[in-house]
Amino acid sequence: MLINDMKKINIRKKKILIRLDLNVPMQNNKITSYARIKASLPTIKLALKNKSKIMILSHLGRPIENKFQEKYSLFPIFQYLKKKLKNTNIYFIKNINDAININYGEIIIFENVRFNKGEKTNNTKLAKKYASLCDIFVMDAFGTAHRMEASTYGVGMFAKIACAGPLLISEIKSLKKSIKNPQRPLITILGGSKISTKFNILKKLAKISDTTIVGGGIANTFLAINNNIGKSIYEKNFIKLAKNLIKKYNIIVPIDSRTFSIKNKKYKYFMKNSNLITDHEEIMDIGDQSIKKFIKIINTAKTIIWNGPVGVFESKKFRLGTEKISYAIANNKKSFSLAGGGDTLAVIEMFKIKKQISYISTGGGAFLEFIEGKKLPSIEMLKQKYIKN
């Protein structure tokens, strides 16, 4: 793939505008996971090493456009970066039009780009404004590479030079390694609540995988083909499609489940075979027999692609399945493991297995679309801006 690489072009003492993915989970204006910020630090430090004037763009959440909403402000992220980069002057700028002249080796962090009018529609005027700030635009936000927005696509088209940052380069290489010529057996673990949002990727992965393990609401849709699943989350409109997939490919569903029901205002918890769920029960996690079966399959893998938890891991009562599967992936030393997606990152942090996963993708939707084979607008933009040395 011919794209400009930040590490291979002259960025010394240049004005650098970097699009990062600092879209971290927040609660009460406090960061609950630092994974994406930490993944972006090497890019910032590379620019600092080259005495660049550094400007950073990112989004956070889904605010109403052209309206400030405090819960979506990047200010807490600015405060965190100030602590991590203690000897660096860092400024927080609320309005893109108020950009100040900084010295070499200093940083501006702009407020959430999604507060800017025209960001999500890739407005030309806004894209040109971004581009006018810099000598070089660095796209290093893989998590938004699938979106054609002013700060991810338009700015690159109008910038003098556009290149990929080290995180984006690393993402592309690792994803290609997993899907082009993977070592086999290739085992995929796909979780999450809705099969509709992941059906195409499920189909793609099932086709290239030796075995595909499904959990969560996705598994419930498969279970609903021949079983009563009570009040469990599933998608009726996808049952026929799921039936066709499971006939064609090696897709493994849970054989037992952890459930709960409410009776007389009392919560009752059960573990039972997946074909014995009653009308009043809701599947919340995989059961012990499923855990054993899934781990046995994972232990055979040479390549693992993992996206999503297999149960409601946020609750301690329904965390065991996701916990055991996570440790099985982490402890398979002979495999190349690739994990991606927001919930997956949260799981990795929760169980402290980051160092044992071969590669952790910062992307959610972009991760899935890349594997699916779709063209990502930001990467297509970088191809167009390639300059042969």
Catalytic positions are 36, 194, 342, 365
Residue matched to tokens 């167009």 = 384
Identify which of 109, 66, 110, 118 has the alpha carbon closest to the alpha carbon of residue 88: 109
Q: Would you state the structure tokens that stand for residue 211, as one six-digit string? A: 């075995």
Question: Rg of the chain over CA atoms, in angstroms?
Answer: 22
End-to-end CA distance of the chain: 15
Q: How far apart are CA 339 and CA 358, in angstroms?
A: 8
Residue matched to tokens 């405090």 = 70
* Contact (CB, 8 A) for 246 and 212: no
How far are the Cα atoms of 84, 157, 161, 345 from residue 142, in angstroms, in the given order?
Answer: 22, 17, 18, 14
Q: How far apart are CA 249 and CA 266, in angstroms?
A: 41
The full DSSP string for 186-203 is EEEEE--S-STTTHHHHH
Establish whether the linkage from the previous residue to 185 is cis, with ω within 30° of 0: yes
Q: How far apart are CA 379 and CA 369, in angstroms?
A: 12
* Contact (CB, 8 A) for 344 and 308: yes
Q: Would you state the structure tokens that stand for residue 61, as one six-digit string? A: 């959440």
Identify which of 185, 249, 250, 242 has the alpha carbon closest to the alpha carbon of residue 219: 242
Phi, psi angle pair for 222, to nearest 5°: -70, -40
Pairing of strands 303-307, 186-190: parallel
Reduced to 3 states, what is the DSSP secondary structure of residue 51?
coil
Reduced to 3 states, what is the DSSP secondary structure of residue 344?
helix
How far are the Cα atoms of 37, 69, 136, 347, 351 from residue 111, in angstroms, in the given order?
Answer: 15, 11, 20, 28, 32
Q: CA geometry: angle at 303 spanning 3 and 343, to 5°?
A: 75
